[in-house]
Structure 1
Amino acid sequence: MILSEEEIDRTLRHGPWPPAVTLDPSNRVSGNANAIALGEVLFSDPVLSKDGAMSCSSCHQPGRDFTDGVARAEGRKTLDRNTQALWNLAGQRWFGWSGDSDSLWAQNLTPLLNPAEMGHDAHSVQSAFLESAHRPEYEVLFGDLSLESALETTVNVSKVLAAYIETLRSGKTSFDHFRDALAQGDMKMAAQYPEPAQRGLQIFIGRGNCAFCHSGPAFTNGEFHDAAVPYLLKQGRVDPGRAEGIDRLLGSPFTLNGDFTDDPRKSGAWAVRNVRFQHGNFGIFRVPTLRRAARTSPYMHDGSLPDLAAVVQHYDKIDMERLHSDGEAILRPLGLSDQDAENLEAFLKTLSDD
């Protein structure tokens, strides 16, 4: 064992895993077996695109860990951002790279109604389901589809999808077995965790300061930070990141503070009620989980880093000129040796070997 007592304490904060299953009070079909089954079928059904040309699984491919393996997603055109994996989304506060939504079901509406992606509008969604083979299963959950407004149908479809996506939870990894052994004081079991991964973990929770953003059992704080990644898309076009996300969030009727939540207490609405734009929001993006990240290259919001080695090098030699002058000032070049970089990568891989 090469970890100090303080390092063991920091390691224990990244668990236990997996977390307890909790239902989404804003989605009345969360955890419903019929909704989960229908959502899984719909996920790969082109009925969710207006012209029947694509499905959710076109970009979120199950065989690629619910990503697509390309730098920026391909919808009806090349989109601005990388396709995020769908693992472990249940219970998060914000969704999407820029936090446009505060619930998983609301986030599902973004690609569904985006002309550059699925291309539907509320009326075309309802028309598609009125003629769909899925109508009986839908009506078991929500009643007579023909009596709903088109917007109600569209939101209900998004909630069915959310019920399925909530079930995409990654399992225990070798890191988790190591962490649990430490918690139990079983040093013999803990010693089975490879030494290079332990040394990488020391960097992660120590001088690398990676755990500042990639914190907790899910290895993300779920918030927005500046990772010094360029947000210039092409000459004359930039990706505003969280700044745009806040605008969309505050202008959306589909938040936890709106009329489409199924939670009468609106218990999660405090976040959207209190979010405010700040200059530092421009060009920052949501911190992704590191669980199963080794399987979901390329990386960053623009897909600009092809593999984990490139990610480690990015943070090792980070360009301080690309960081906000009024930002958090938490990043510094790490000065890693070649062996340090290999050890850090070895640790990251143990978050994906479930």
Structure 2
Amino acid sequence: MNRLCRIIVAFHLVAAIIAGPAAADVLLTPEEISRTLTHGPWPPAVGPDPSNRVSGNAAAIAFGEQLFHDPDLSRDGSISCATCHVPARGFSEDRPRAMGRVALDRNTPSLMNVGTHRWFGWAGDSDNLWAQSLLPILNADELASDAQSLKTMMADGPYASTYAQLFGPSSDHASETVLVNIAKALAAYKETLITGQTSFDRFRDALELGDMARAADYPESAQRGLQIFLGKGNCAFCHTGPAFTNGEFHDAGVPYFIEPGRVDPGRHGGLKALLESPFTLDGAFTDDPGKRGAWAVRNVRRTHLDFGKFRVPSLRGASRTAPYMHDGSLPDLESVVAHYNTIDMERLHADGEAILMPLNLSDDEVDDLLAFLRSLSDDQPVAD
């Protein structure tokens, strides 16, 4: 926020305090208000994905939604995308680790607001949403399908006409191209999965307008929790911006042992997959002739420090997506706060990344931080 905006916010705050007692219920300082404004507005204005020519296309969105719920996208017709990404649970599921054809190694991440991501998946295996959408289709432990079967599905059956209208006859395409086009339709649908405004957003917007009487409707416990989030807890270091995530990868002190003798390499493995993928923003399947965004995959490098790092999730809608962390090891928000409150520094795996320290919050402070976190999820739940 620039200096003029800071002055305006401070002016509104002082004027509101002078005007009446209701503003006394706004606990934040001008500096805290300034920082709060960086977490909005919401929802964000996000345009079509230039790498996906059907992004924002209404017919592609409807087609993608059909595919998302269709078990015929899997090898034997037994699993759909919605099997794990349950709409009523914020497009996640309530088990610690996803269950495909076998138990998988990671928790099912929410798909809400996925269109705002920079990297995709817990380890950043993809740099775009359509590439990430095709990974579970091909994974032998998930949908276990293959490009040739999907080409046949698009040529003969209820989807043939829709596919042809969007992309041209599938008979004119290589099977790999058909696979990518299906993934692009899925991505067009997923881009529409956006959480609504919450009580935090109404508070934030009132602060921006200088409407302290309206801002005072936001519970004081949530305001105190926000102060901890911005200050003592330093949570905003990683959970930045309107989506409450910096979109990058950090070590949260969660063990990466999957079972004795086997570890989850985290970002280190994700970068290997990314750099070997033909489906990046720098590859032949992007629809963007300028290859915007390709600079990231061109310049990223794997290092030993990437072990044990996982993508920072958004906190929006988090109350509906338990359990938490990449391995689903924390069953509720109380457990998450307790984890950071007493974090064991010896369990941090990334040498040299000294971001986290035990928060040492009192019981009352824990309650306040939880009140704030829940205020990021009190919009209307996603319909099933």
Give the TM-score category using the shorter length: over 0.9
User: Does structure 2 conserve the Cα–Cα contact (< 8 Å) formed by 1:241 and 1:285?
Assistant: yes
Aligned to 1:5: 30
Tell me which residue corresponds to 2:291. Answer: 266
For residues 185-231 of structure 1, give each alpha carbon's deviation from its aligned partner in whole angstroms, at most 9, with x where no partner exists.
11100100000000100110101010010000000000000000000
Q: How far apart in 1 are the matches of 2:194 and 2:145?
A: 29
- Write out aligned runs for 1:33-48 (5 A): 33-48=58-73
Q: Which aligned pairs between 1:161-172 and structure 2 lie closer than 5 A?
A: 161-172=186-197
Specify the SS of the correspondent of 1:90.
helix
Contact 1:22 1:91 in 2 (8 A): no
Is residue 294 of structure 2 the alignment partner of residue 308 of structure 1? no
> Which residue of 2 is the match for residue 297 of structure 1?
322
Please say which of residues 243-252 and 6-15 is displaced more in the overlay.
6-15
2:377 aligned residue: 352
**Within the alignment, does 1:222 sit opposite 2:267 as a pair?**
no
Check if 1:282 corresponds to 2:307.
Answer: yes
CA offsets per residue over residues 88-143 of structure 1, 9 Å max, x none? Answer: 11132100000000000000111000000000111121122223211111110011
Work out the CA distance in 2 between the residues paired with 1:151 and 1:298.
35
Q: Distance in 1 between matches of 2:156 and 2:101?
A: 24
Deviations 1:265-290 (A, max 9, x none): 00110110010011110010000000
| Residue 122 of structure 1, aligned match among 136, 140, 147 | 147
C-alpha RMSD over aligned residues: 0.8
2:174 equivalent to 1:139: no
In 1, Cα distance between the equivalents of 2:56 and 2:266? 32
2:200 counterpart of 1:178: no
- The corresponding residue for 1:209 is 234
1:66 aligns with 2:123: no
Are 1:181 and 1:189, in contact at CA under 8 Å, matched by a contact in 2? yes
Report the counterpart of residue 52 of structure 2 in structure 1: 27
TM-score normalised by length of structure 1:
0.99
Counterparts of 1:35 and 1:212, CA distance in 2: 37
CA–CA distance in 2 between the matches of 1:217 and 1:327? Answer: 28
Any gaps of 5 or more consecutive residues in structure 2? Answer: 1-25, 380-384
Measure the CA separation in 1 of the matches of 2:355 and 2:87. Answer: 35
For 1:324 and 1:62, the matched residues in 2 are separated by 34
For these two proteins, the number of residue pairs brought into alignment is 354
Q: Structure 2 length as normaliser, TM-score?
A: 0.91
Does the alignment pair 1:253 with 2:290? no
- Please state how far the C-alpha of 1:325 moved relative to its aligned partner: 5.5
| Per-residue deviation, 1:324 | 2.9
Rg larger for:
2
* Aligned counterparts of 2:106 and 2:149: Cα–Cα separation in 1: 26
The question of whether the paired residues in 2 share the 8 Å contact of 1:291 and 1:351 is answered with yes
Change (3 A) 1:131 1:325: closer
The equivalent residue for 1:101 is 126
1:202 is aligned with what amino acid? Q
Distance 1:106 1:132 in 2: 25
Residues 50 and 125, structure 1, Cα contact 8 Å, conserved in 2: no
1-structure distance, mates of 2:94, 2:157: 31
> 2:349 & 2:69 partners in 1: Cα distance?
40
The counterpart of 1:199, out of the listed 213, 216, 224, is 224
3-state DSSP of counterpart to 1:162 = helix
User: Partners of 2:61 and 2:349 in 1: how far apart?
Assistant: 42
Identical amino acids, percent of aligned pairs: 64
1:238 lines up with 2:281 in the alignment:
no
Segments of 4+ moved more than 3 angstroms: none
Distance 1:135 1:325, change over 3 A: closer
Q: Is the 8 A contact 1:48 1:125 kept in 2?
A: yes
Per-residue displacement from partner, 1:47-101 (whole Å, max 9, x unpaired)?
2101111100000011221111100000000000000111111132100000000
Q: 1:126 to 1:182 in 2, by over 3 A?
A: same
Q: What CA distance in whole angstroms lies between the structure 2 residues aligned with 1:299 and 1:327?
A: 25
Corresponding residue number in structure 2 for 1:335:
360
Q: Deviations over 1:253-304 (max 9, x none)?
A: 0000000000000011011001001111001000000000011000000000
Higher helix share: 2
For the residues of structure 1 that align with 2:158 and 2:94, how far apart are their CA atoms? 31
The Cα shift of 1:27 comes to: 0.2
Secondary structure of the residue that 1:52 maps to in structure 2? coil
Q: Distance in 2 between matches of 1:64 and 1:48?
A: 22
Say yes or no: does 1:151 pair with 2:170: no
